[in-house]
């Protein structure tokens, strides 16, 4: 068994010896992206496992070890970790936990401290907690976030975002049900096999893979009947995680909707851009600025790969980050960047603009920035785009799932009326065009 080591502050370290012996548990958020990203860590010798547990007992465990005024995502992530450790499935003396820290003003940066406090309360304070961050907040001898790992994680993100987007645009219209999901799984296996061979990360390889992926989805036989198009936005965890949003995406698909969930790449660009703006406004190290700016440019290049391959095969591309910034000019300040900040408002504007005017804004309990930039901006968004049909849904341990789904159904009933009006208008316009052409032909004869 690895010897427990602590730093000067008393923080339990994840040592090089632990890297060889320990299993690292990862919380689940965005399934498609995280399944690929997990394999990047595995490639570098970390023994990782994604937690896919769900159910109301997760929140109850969280409530037992975290104060109930803490933001809902923290409650769920910590609850899922401790639920796993108490399940008997893992050797708790050879298990570590990994959690992200953005380093921003959002309380998400403090999840790691809440987690350690909860572990101590549960008698599990010998379980090391690893911080995944690029801010220099914490370091561990047995875990290093190197440039090659970052590059491959970004590559995994690009593939994951693309697969999620293409599946969501094909699945509702499939003639052969299940074909899109099967293709996603097939491509994940293919990409992981490439990773294992040291392939799939170079720019040309990524371009070719993304072209092949988009082409394969374009070959799925579809029945493109008109459907209600719904966008999903909100706090990043509740936006993606089925555990956090009560399987929102599956519910919307059951209601015969086409769902669009903006990818994680936009959020990654947002966080890196914020660091650049901080240095510009408040000063900072010139070398650090150059490094962060290089990462920003690299992410922009990766974003363009997703956009180019989807446009080429007739899919609706994700909104370009620079365009999202332009959309909020005069609407909300770029200094509003706690949590999802202005990006949340921008995503709603972009969804409405790109054909997804019906929007579910997921609002986790305790996330004040999310309520301000989400629910608080709905009236302004509707002034800019009257087609916007937005419902803000609160998610917390005491929220009724039935109530949440009923409120979404009310939004969808309005969306259905709007779709019928649009179809009627388009039909009338088509009839008029036919009549004009017929009259012109008759006069010519």
For 301-323, write each residue's pLDDT tens digit.
Answer: 999 999 999 999 999 999 999 99
- Sole residue written with tokens 């200094």: 335
Residue-wise pLDDT tens digits, 132-167: 887 777 889 999 988 889 889 999 999 999 999 999
Q: What is the residue whose two structure tokens read 């240095």? A: 279
pLDDT tens for each residue of 345-362: 999 999 999 999 999 999
pLDDT tens, position by position, 41-61 = 998 999 999 999 988 899 999
Residues contacting 315, CB < 8 A, separation 6+: 165, 166, 169, 214, 217, 218
pLDDT of residue 440: 62
Q: How far apart are CA 20 and CA 40, in angstroms?
A: 16
pTM confidence score: 0.90
State the pLDDT at residue 176.
96
Q: Considering the chain, what is the average pLDDT of its residues?
A: 91
Q: What is the pLDDT of residue 431?
A: 53
Q: Which two structure tokens, joined as six digits, stand for 423?
A: 């179809």
* Across 103-130, average pLDDT: 86
pLDDT at 337 over 90: no
Q: Percentage of the chain with pLDDT > 90?
A: 71
Contact criterion met (CB below 8 Å) for 73 and 244: yes
Residue-level pLDDT at 342: 95
Residue 244 clears pLDDT 80, i.e. is over it: yes
Give the Cα separation of 112 and 127 in Å (integer): 12
Rounded CA-CA distance 193/119 in Å is: 36
Query: What CATH class has 16-143?
Result: alpha beta
């Amino acid at each position: 068994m690895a010897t427990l080591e602590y730093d000067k502050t008393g923080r339990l370290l994840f040592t090089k010896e632990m890297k060889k012996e320990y299993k690292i548990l990862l919380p689940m958020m965005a399934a498609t992206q995280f399944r690929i990203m997990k394999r990047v860590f595995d490639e570098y010798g970390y023994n990782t496992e994604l937690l896919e547990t769900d159910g109301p007992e997760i929140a109850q465990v969280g409530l037992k070890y975290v104060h109930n005024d803490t933001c809902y995502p923290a409650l769920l992530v910590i609850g899922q970790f401790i639920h796993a450790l108490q399940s008997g499935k893992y050797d708790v003396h050879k298990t570590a936990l990994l959690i992200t820290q953005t380093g921003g003003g959002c309380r998400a940066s403090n999840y790691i401290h809440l987690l350690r406090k909860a572990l101590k309360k549960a008698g599990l304070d010998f379980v090391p907690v690893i911080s995944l961050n690029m801010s220099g907040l914490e370091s561990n001898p047995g875990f290093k976030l190197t440039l090659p790992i970052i590059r491959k994680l970004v590559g995994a993100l690009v593939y994951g975002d693309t697969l999620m987007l293409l599946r969501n645009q094909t699945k509702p219209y499939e003639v052969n049900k299940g074909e899109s999901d099967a293709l996603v799984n097939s491509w994940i296996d293919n990409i992981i096999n490439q990773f294992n061979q040291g392939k799939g990360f170079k720019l040309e390889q990524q371009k070719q893979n993304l072209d092949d992926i988009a082409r394969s989805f374009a070959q799925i036989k579809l029945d493109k009947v008109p459907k209600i198009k719904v966008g999903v936005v909100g706090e990043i965890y509740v936006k993606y995680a089925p555990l956090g949003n009560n399987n929102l995406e599956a519910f919307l698909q059951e209601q015969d909707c086409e769902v669009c969930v903006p990818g994680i790449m936009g959020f990654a660009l947002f966080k890196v851009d914020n660091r650049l703006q901080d240095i510009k406004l408040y000063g900072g190290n010139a070398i650090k600025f150059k490094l962060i700016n290089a990462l920003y440019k690299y992410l922009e290049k990766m974003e363009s790969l997703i956009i180019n391959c989807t446009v080429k095969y007739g899919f609706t591309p994700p909104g370009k980050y620079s365009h999202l910034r332009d959309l909020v000019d005069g609407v909300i300040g770029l200094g509003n960047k706690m949590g999802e900040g202005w990006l949340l408002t921008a995503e709603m504007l972009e969804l409405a603009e790109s054909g997804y005017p019906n929007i579910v804004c997921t609002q986790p309990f305790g996330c004040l920035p999310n309520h301000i930039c989400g629910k608080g901006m709905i009236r302004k968004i509707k002034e800019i785009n009257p087609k916007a049909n937005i419902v803000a849904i609160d998610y917390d341990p005491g929220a009724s799932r039935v109530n949440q789904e009923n409120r979404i159904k009310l939004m969808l009933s309005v969306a259905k009326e709007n779709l019928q009006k649009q179809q009627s208008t388009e039909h009338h316009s088509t009839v008029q065009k036919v009549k004009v052409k017929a009259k012109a032909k008759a006069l010519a004869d």
